[in-house]
Amino acid sequence: MADGNQRTRQGSASSAQDLVVDGGPRCTIAMTADGIWHVMAQLVAEEQAALAAAAPSPEALCQRAQHALGLAGIGSRIERGRNAIGVYAAPLRSPSGEATLLLDGREVLWWVSQASSEAIGALIAAATEAMRSAPDC
C-alpha cells in the first residue's frame, strides 16, 4: 500500500492477506486482536487522482459506499468517526451481532461507491473466504 494508506493498528493479530477481485483495486484483509477484519485498498494513480479531485467528505463517501452496498444487497452500517463501514452478512456477525468485517479507509470506500453490484459482491465473497480459511478462526 502507498505510504498514505498504511496504518499501524494497535493490537494487530494477523498479517495482511491479498484479496483478488477481477477489475478491482489491490485490496488486503487483516484481522485485529478484537476479531474485526479490515479490508483496505490501494487505488491506481488515476483513481487516486479522481478521489483527490472529488474530495468527498468522510460522511458523503461513507453514504455513497453504503448506498452501493445496499444496491448490491449487502447490509452495512457506517462506523461514525471513522472512514469505515461495517458489513453485515450472516457468516460475518459476531455473537453480539456486531459486524466482523470493516471496509476501512477512503480508498476502499471510493472504489465501492463506484463499483458494480457484481464487483462489490465479489469483494465481499473474497473477504469472507479469506476470513473462513484463516488459521485459528
> pLDDT of 3-40, one tens digit each?
333 333 334 456 789 998 888 899 999 988 888 899 99
Helix (H) or strand (E) holding 66: helix 58-71
Percent of the chain surpassing pLDDT 90: 59
**133 contact partners, CB below 8 Å, separation of at least 6:** none
The pLDDT, as a whole number, for residue 80 is 79
**80 contact partners, CB below 8 Å, separation of at least 6:** none
Question: Sheet of 26-31: strands edge to edge?
Answer: 17-19, 26-31, 37-42, 101-104, 84-88, 75-79
**Cα 80 to Cα 2: distance, rounded to the nearest angstrom:** 25
The pLDDT, as a whole number, for residue 102 is 93
pLDDT tier at 114 (50, 70, 90 boundaries)? very high
| Amino acid sitting at position 76 | S
Helix (H) or strand (E) holding 53: helix 45-54
Q: Using the predicted structure, report yes or no on whether residue 45 has a pLDDT greater than 80.
A: yes
This prediction has a pTM of 0.82
**Cα 137 to Cα 128: distance, rounded to the nearest angstrom:** 12
**Cα 52 to Cα 42: distance, rounded to the nearest angstrom:** 13
